[in-house]
A and B are shown apart, each in its own frame.
Chain A
C-alpha cells in the first residue's frame, strides 16, 4: 500500500457510470414489470394493443441491459433483479401463447396423425402381440373351456361363460330391455374410464423396457380370444363379431395405439442409438404422448358406440357396416399422407 497514494477524492462528486446506466433505464424496467404482472395474472383485458406490442421491445432492452450490467456493474441487487425480470419476460415472449383451441386444431389436423404414422413399426408389433394373445387364448379355451376363467375376470364376463346356454349368450348380444339400457349407460361410462386408465397405463408402463406394455397387450388380446372361443363353441361367432366390432374397432385400435406409444418409449430407453439415453427418451416421450393424446378421445367414441350405438342397432349387418366404416375412417384419417404442412384433412 505504500506505492500508491493517489486519493479518489476528486471523483467523489461524479455519479458512478453504473448508477447513471441504471437511472436512465429504471422506468422502462418498471413498466415491463407492471405489464408482466397484469399478463401473468391473466388480466389481459387491461392491456392495450400498445402494451402488448411494447412487451417484446421492453424485454429485448431489458435483456441487453442485463448483459451490460453483468459486464460493467457490480450492483448485485440490480443484476439479480434484471435476471428475475428477464426470466419472467422470456417465458412470456417465447412461451407458447397458442390458445387451447389453436393447439387442438393443429393437433387434429396434423400433429396426431403424423405422430401415429411415425409409430407404424410399433403399431404393427402391438397388433401382433395382441393377436398372439388372442390366438393362444382362443386355442386354449377351445381345447379346454376351464381356461376361460383364468383369462376373463368375473366382473367383465357378466355370466358369459362356457357353461351358459346358447340362448343366454344370444340374449347378451341383443338387448331390448330399456331399464337395462339405462343401467348399461352407467356401465358404459365405467367401462370407458376403466379402458382409458388401462390405455394410459399401457402407455406409461412402456418406459420399463416395453415388458409390462407387451404383457398388458397380450392379456387384452387373451380376454378377447377367450370370449370369442366361448361364443364360437355355441355357433354364435358371426353375431358376436357384430356386437364386438361396432365399438371394438375403435377401442382395440385405441389400446393398440397406446401400447405402440408405450413400446416406442421403452425402445428409446433401451436402445437410444446415437443419442444420449436422456435425449432419446425425451424425444420418444413427446412423440408417443402426442399419439396418446388422441387415444382418450377414441375411447370416448368407442364408449358412445358401445353405450348407444349397440343398444339402438340390433341388426348384425348394420353393426358390421358401422364397424367397417369406422375402420375405413381411421385408416383414412391416420393413413392420409401429411408430409407437407396443411395437407388434406381426412
Chain B
C-alpha cells in the first residue's frame, strides 16, 4: 500500500459497503484494512503466548514443587490448556457480545455477518475452526522438519500459509477463507466525537453575498471548505480564501481570511441546504 495521499473520494468507496438496517437506513460500513487485521492477529498471538507461558511456568512449578511431582496432573493441564487456547481462544472471545478478540478491540474492529443479520455462534465457529488449516497446521509442519523429506513438507507448509495469509488481499472484501465459509466480514467500529457545528457563529457583522456569488460552488467544495476550517491551518486558510475571493469576484469590505471563510461557509451552506429542501443537491461546481 502506498503512503502517498490519495484523494478521499478515490479511497472511500473501496472499503465502504452498503449495510442496510431493518429501519431501511444504509450505515455504509467501513471494512477493516488488511494491516489492521494483521496487527489485531499479532496482538492476539502475543496474548496467547503470554497465557501459555504463564501456564507453562505454573506446571513447571507444580513439577518441581514436589507435592505433585509423581502425578501426571501438570502434563494433563498443559496439554489441555494448549489445545483449548489454540482451538478456542478466538471463538470464545468472539462469542461474547462485543464479537471481537482483545486484538480486534484494540484495533477498533469487530466481526459482523455479511448479510446484515445476527452473527450466530455457527458463523463464529466456522470462521475460527478454519484457522487450524490456515495458520496452525502449516506452522506445525514448518517446525516439524529436520530431515530432507520434512524439509520439503516445511516448504510446502510455507507456501500453503502464504496462500492463506495473503488470501484477504486478493478479494475486494478482505475475506479470510474462514470469513468466506462463515459468511462474515470484519468491519471497523468507528468512534467519532461530535465536532462543533461551524454554522453557529452569528454572522451579524459579516458581509452579505449575492446569489451569484453563492452559485460558484457545490456540496463537494462546501465540504472541502468545512475540512479547511476544521483543520484551521494558516497557510491553507490564506490560500483558500484568496482563491475564493478571486473566483467570486469579491470587492466587499476587507476582513481577516478566517472570518471571511467562516462567513462564506455559512452563506454557502444556507444557500445549498435551502436548495436541498427543494430536492436539488448541487454535487459540485460543475453541477448545474
Residues of A near any B CB (own CB < 8 A): 1-9, 11-13, 15-19, 22-23, 26, 29-30, 33, 40, 42, 60, 63-64, 66-67, 71-78, 80-81, 83-88, 90-92, 94-97, 100, 103, 107, 111, 115, 182-183, 185-186, 189-190, 192-193, 196-197, 200-201, 203-205, 207, 265, 278-279, 281-290, 292-293, 296
Contact = CB atoms under 8 A, between A and B. Distances in A.
B126 A288 contact: yes
A74 B209 contact: no
Interface string B187-210: 001111111111110111010111
Interface in B107-162: 110, 112, 114, 118-123, 125-126, 129-130, 132-134, 137
A87 B189 contact: yes
Contact of A95 (B71, B99, B192, B195): B99
Contacts of A92: 97
B132 A292 contact: no
A72 B273 contact: yes
B126 A86 contact: no
Interface stretch (B17-25, B32-40, B236-244): B17-25
A86 B27 contact: yes
A11 B270 contact: yes
B223 A76 contact: yes
B58 interface: no
A140 to B, nearest CB: 24
A92 B112 CA distance: 12
B110 A8 contact: no
15 contacts: A1-B213, A8-B209, A67-B25, A77-B230, A86-B21, A87-B189, A111-B122, A182-B71, A185-B72, A189-B76, A189-B79, A193-B79, A286-B126, A289-B182, A293-B121
Contact of A12 (B204, B216, B272): B204
B194 A30 contact: yes
B260 to A, nearest CB: 14
B98 A40 contact: yes
B285 interface: no
Given A13-B202, A73-B273, A91-B112, A190 B79 contact: yes
Contacts of B202: 12-13
B269 interface: yes
Contact of A60 (B23, B182, B198, B267): B23
Contact of A74 (B80, B216, B222): B222
Given A95-B97, A205-B133, 14 more contacts: A4-B212, A9-B208, A17-B273, A29-B194, A71-B276, A75-B198, A77-B196, A88-B190, A95-B99, A95-B118, A189-B80, A201-B137, A285-B181, A290-B125
B166 interface: no
Contact of A100 (B95, B133, B137, B189): B95
B189 A8 contact: no
A77 B95 contact: no
A107 B121 contact: yes
B249 interface: yes
B29 interface: yes
Contact of A6 (B132, B182, B210, B226): B210
B215 A88 contact: no
Contact of A186 (B72, B183, B198, B248): B72
Contacts of A29: 194
A204 B98 contact: no
Given A12-B208, A100-B95, A186-B79, A285 B182 contact: yes
Contacts of B271: 8
Given A94-B21, A201-B133, A16 B193 contact: no
B180 interface: yes
The 4 closest A-B pairs by CB, nearest first: A282-B183, A285-B181, A9-B208, A1-B212
Nearest to A196: B83
B41 interface: no
B89 interface: no
A26 B195 CA distance: 11
Contacts of A103: 95, 121
Nearest to A77: B195
B283 to A, nearest CB: 11
B9 interface: no
Interface string B58-102: 000000000000011001100110110001000000011111000
A96 B87 contact: no
B79 A74 contact: no
B219 interface: yes
> Which of B193, B199, B227 has the most chain A CB within a 10 Å cutoff?
B199
A7 to B, nearest CB: 4
B52 interface: no
Nearest to A182: B72
A242 B120 CA distance: 40
A77 B226 contact: yes
Given A74-B219, A84-B190, A292-B125, A7 B209 contact: yes
Given A4-B211, A94-B22, A96-B97, A88 B121 contact: no
